[in-house]
Amino acid sequence: MKKRVFCLILSLVMLLCGSMLPAAAMTDVFEEEAEEMLEAVEVAVGAYETPYEDSRFLAYGDYLIHFRVKEAANPVGQIMMIHGFALSGYCWENLATILAENGYTCVLIDLPGYGYSTRETAATNFIEREELIYTLMTYLSDDQWIVAGHSMGGFYAQGIMQNYPDAVSSLLLYGTAGNEGMGEGFKSMMTFKPINVVMGAIMELFVKVDFIFNMALQMGLQDDEFYAAYDAAKVRDPLLIKGTGSGAIYCFVDVPETDFLALRTCGKPIFYCNGSLDNVISVDARVKFAAHLPSDAVNVTVEGGAHMFIENYAQEVADYTLDFLK
């Protein structure tokens, strides 16, 4: 599944622009790791200037992780929101605003390689994304989190649930599926420096071409009226940061494999939502993934929604999500 999604997205990047442990109670080892993580964490000044007044950065190891918080006035829960390939926390803007207005504090994180977070290189002391996200979760609150993931971010949401189950109360999965793994040979090829540099340069080049970038964005939305008023710069500007293409590939090939048995037996409420016109996650992939979910998982489809449906169908998605959370 992961290789299929990667190839689909990579094709879109190259041709159309760069479109966009089994679950169990947390062990003492995890608790000790959490304490060590927090000792290494601090809020820091970011390396990149952002367009947001509420930008915050978390420093951990070689990483500066950009995130924003949409506070609920009277919070009833908190949601960590993880974006997909070639996007950033901005993709959650509309949905997070509605959820915050309904009592859920939302944290919009930029994964390494995207948005305004660190761009990795071969010299970076690598830290798994799940650990980075979990560190931010623990830094911000001791309470359990609802973890949301869109597209590639759904793989990371599943990984957090598998590795840090006690930190997660439920999963919200949008426009994603299961990741059956990518061969080590393929991963080695994509992270081999000459290939990684070339692929990264191709991605960055196509982002700079207006026609190609706009076409890819339109394909992701499939909504001319919404696109006409869309702030495309919020998507494009961080993609123009040097090292984004190469760093994005480092990020994608490290996406965690789905433990389907752990997912089915996790005991966590799971919400699974897709767009009917999604051209990245196939119908077969959605059906196959849904079959691995617990029997009480909620599975809904947004009619007319393409891959980026969480943006232009935010109100409908929020209605489904809030109904599930209540």
pLDDT tens digits for range 105-142: 999 999 999 999 999 887 889 899 999 999 999 999 99
Question: Which tokens in the block code for residue 122?
Answer: 């071969």
pLDDT score of 46: 60
Residue 18: pLDDT over 50: no
The mean-pLDDT minimum among 13-17, 147-151, 156-160, 171-175 falls in 13-17
This prediction has a pTM of: 0.86
CATH of the domain at 165: 3.40.50.1820
**Is residue 81's pLDDT more than 70?**
yes
What pLDDT is recorded for position 12? 39
Rg (CA), the chain: 18
- pLDDT band at residue 19, thresholds of 50, 70 and 90? very low
From CA 206, how far away is CA 214, in angstroms rounded?
10
SS3 57: strand
Average pLDDT estimate for 199-211: 87
| CA nearest to 154, candidates 130, 134, 132 | 130
Give the pLDDT score at 161: 96
Q: Is the pLDDT of residue 20 over 60?
A: no
Half-sphere exposure of residue 45: CA atoms within 13 angstroms, side-chain side: 1
Determine the angle formed by the axes of helices 210-221 and 193-208, rounding to 10 degrees. Answer: 90
Cα–Cα distance between 127 and 135 in angstroms, integer? 11
Question: What are the two backbone dihedrals, phi and then psi, of residue 248, each rounded to the nearest 5 degrees?
Answer: -65, -35
Give 292-319 pLDDT, tens digit per residue. 999 999 999 999 999 999 999 999 999 9
% residues pLDDT > 90 (the chain): 70
Which pLDDT band, with edges at 50, 70 and 90, does 197 fall under?
confident
User: Which whole number is the average pLDDT over 229-253?
Assistant: 88
Domain that holds residue 298: 2-325
State yes or no: pLDDT of 225 exceeds 90. Answer: yes
User: Residue 31: how many CB atoms within 10 A of its CB?
Assistant: 11
45 pLDDT exceeds 70? no
Residue in 148, 136, 145 with CA at minimum distance from that of residue 168: 145
pLDDT at site 203: 83
How many structural domains are present in the chain? 1
Query: Per-residue pLDDT tens for 21-44?
Result: 333 333 333 344 444 444 444 555
Collapse the DSSP code of 301 into the 3-class scheme (helix H, G, I; strand E, B; otherwise coil) and give the result: strand
Residue 249 DSSP SS3: helix
**So what's the pLDDT on residue 28?**
38
Q: Are 82 and 109 in contact (CB under 8 A)?
A: yes
Residue 33 neighbours by CB under 8 Å, 6+ apart? none
Q: What is the pLDDT of residue 227?
A: 96
Bridge partners of residue 174, in order along the sequence: 150, 273
